[in-house]
Structure 1
Amino acid sequence: MTTQQPRFTYEALPMRVVFGAGSLAQLPQEARGLGLRRLLVLSTHGQRSLAENAATLLGDACAGIFAEARMHVPADIAAKALQAARDTGADGCVAIGGGSTIGLGKAIALKSGLPVVSVPTTYAGSEMTPIWGLTEGGRKQTGRDRSVLPRSVLYDPELTLSLPVDVSVTSGFNAIAHAVEALYAPDASPVISLMAEEGVRSLAAALPAVAAAPRDLDARTEALHGAWLCGSCLGATTMSLHHKLCHILGGTFDLPHAPTHTVLLPYVAAFNLPAAPDAERALRRALATDDVPEQLARVAAELGAPRSLAELGLTEHDLAEVIAQAQSRPYANPRPAPADALRTLLTDALHGTLAH
Structure 2
Amino acid sequence: MPDLSVHLGRLTLANPILVASGTFGYAREMERIVDCSRLGGILPKTITAEPRTGNAPWRTVETAAGLLNSIGLDNDGVDAFLENHLPYLAGIGTAIVVSIAGKTRDEFVRMAAQVAGEPGVAALELNLSCPNVSGGVDYATSPEACREVVAGVRAVSDVPVLAKLTPNVTRIVDIAAAAAEGGADAVCLVNTLLGMAIDWRARRPLLGNVMGGLSGPAIKPVALRCVHQVRQAVDVPIVGIGGIQSIDDVMEFLVAGASAVQIGTANYYDPTISTRMIDALPAALAELGAESVSEIVGTLQTSPPPQPASAFPTPDR
> Do the structures match in fold with TM over 0.5?
no
Identify, as 1 or 2, the structure richer in helix: 1
Q: Which has the higher contact order (CA 8 A, sep 6+)?
A: 2
TM-score, scaled to structure 1? 0.26
Identify, as 1 or 2, the structure richer in strand: 2
